[in-house]
Amino acid sequence: MARKRQEGGGPTYFTTFQVAKFLGVSPPTVVNWVNSGLLVAHRTPGGHRRLRSEDVAMFARAYNYPVPPQLGESSAPEPSGGRRVMIVDDERDFAQTVADYLQLKGGYEVEVADSGFSAGLTLARFRPTVVLMDILMPDMDGFEVLRMLRQDPEMRHTPVIACTAYRDPAMEERARAEGFDGYLEKPIKFETLLELVEESARGGKG
């Protein structure tokens, strides 16, 4: 049974234990999702976590968990065909974490390429709305991939955000001079990332 339902048809809240049971995982796993920012939780006056049914349903769909009847399915947005982000980064764990966040929090459809070469193949098929590009990759750096993208008449105006762990003001200056539409340094702040992706998707510059 849900722990709380607000009057007037408000949201239903569940404990981490209940959510773990719904999704078939352990309670510590749910806590880890909350602590990492992937799953939203609220605190009671006594300091206990409570998770809103709509947030849990959205999370379940984003990660392909069955949505139990207690959560309902109508509140979770489907990814929009006009909201596509491509992540080009050879750090696979980082890229997948960012992809998960953008899918869950932004409702984006996301694809990941782990090299400049595979990026060329995916770009032609996926046609992203925004590209998040690592600058330093072993086979083809981000500058080369950007130049390749700008040569495609259908992709030349696609916003591309540079993302790098290389902390150097000269690198940011070069990235902007060569035509990147935004610049992020790792470790990134996810809220800043989402704001920049949203702005770029609307046609702004970072």
Separation between Cα atoms, residue 70 and residue 72, nearest integer Å: 6
User: 59 — alpha (psi -120 to 50), left (phi > 0) or beta?
Assistant: alpha
pLDDT tens-place string over residues 152-172: 888 889 999 999 988 888 999
Do residues 112 and 44 share a domain? no
Extract the tokens encoding 198.
Answer: 């949203």
Torsion 75-58-17-50 (CA) sign: negative
- Let me know whether 41 and 91 are in one domain: no
> Which CATH number is 96's domain given?
3.40.50.2300
Q: Is 108 left (phi over 0), alpha (psi -120 to 50) or beta?
A: beta
Q: How many domains does the chain divide into? A: 2
Quick one: 128 and 170 in the same domain? Answer: yes
Residue 173 domain-assigned (yes or no): yes
Enter the tokens of residue 56: 């849990």
**Residues 34 and 100 placed together within one structural domain of the fold:** no
State if pTM tops 0.75. no
Residue 39's closest CA among 111, 100, 87, 92? 100
The pLDDT profile of the chain, 206 residues, written as one tens digit per residue, is 444 444 444 568 888 888 888 888 888 889 888 888 888 888 877 777 888 888 888 888 777 777 777 775 443 344 445 689 999 999 988 998 898 889 888 889 899 998 888 887 788 788 899 999 999 887 788 999 999 888 888 888 999 999 998 888 899 999 999 999 999 998 888 989 999 999 998 875 44
Beta-carbon contacts of 12 under 8 Å, excluding residues fewer than 6 positions away, are 2, 4, 5, 52, 53, 70
Q: Are residues 105 and 185 located together in one domain of the fold?
A: yes
Q: For strand 182-185 and strand 42-43, is the pairing parallel, antiparallel, or unpaired?
A: unpaired
| Domain CATH code at residue 21 | 1.10.1660.10
Domain around 175: 84-201
Asked whether residue 70 is assigned to any structural domain, the reply reads no
